Structure 1
């Protein structure tokens, strides 16, 4: 069975990064943008990261410029904005495409695992995929979902409680 650990992505410097390095951790994979109405979600994402990083949680940030070009700039500019404005410290990767012919293979796989508001397509910036310690997609959250709404499911994964998806 394929897992997230089978994928490599490009780091911001263009080098290959194997996601195998995150084995055994709970992951939240997010396509982000710096000039979007949802950009303030970075603050809540960082709060989750600060709270749960020591318990085995990582956020994987993938800037994406596909939606109205709301992630302009190069890696240095994106990092400066995120660091200065939201003090983000979670891993950020190279800018990617999440829909269309040039979709990053990781996102093709993620979308095949869980559909969203537009089926297999990503609807906008800040779509979120929650991944368990075995590298499997547990849930997909719409772009407008406040990261704080993910906290209960995150805690259940981190502390090995059954996930109640009836909420």
Structure 2
């Protein structure tokens, strides 16, 4: 049997024979390339999430224009109205990050164990790195502040008029 394998390898110089360890290393190298692409997708998703958050806050500002006008009429200054928007922004961001972390902890093992096992016949080791969720939890208020800048600027430009009705 070894002679027939040797003959096949001699006839086909581009053909390589791998043991399990070498095959796993080759697979891991391919997976690392895929994860490099996934890193790019992750950054794209983060940008889309920020744009969605800004859009949501901007829509919230426009839909609350009457309420904010009443608060301004009752004596709220620009700073107080800004604090309302900022608090909403930070709250929405923190809640979104918490849900994202929970979904990641739920979906990552499914992808690693179920999909990988069915597609390739083996699984990768699932490890939890606590630095990443902590990083996003610390980053979420900062993202909330940045995402609130456009609505705050728009709030300053809004003119509230008292209706004569």
Q: TM-score range by the shorter chain?
A: under 0.3
Higher strand proportion: 1
Query: TM-score, normalization: structure 1?
Result: 0.22
Bigger relative contact order (CA 8 A; separation at least 6): 2
Larger gyration radius, structure 1 or structure 2: 2
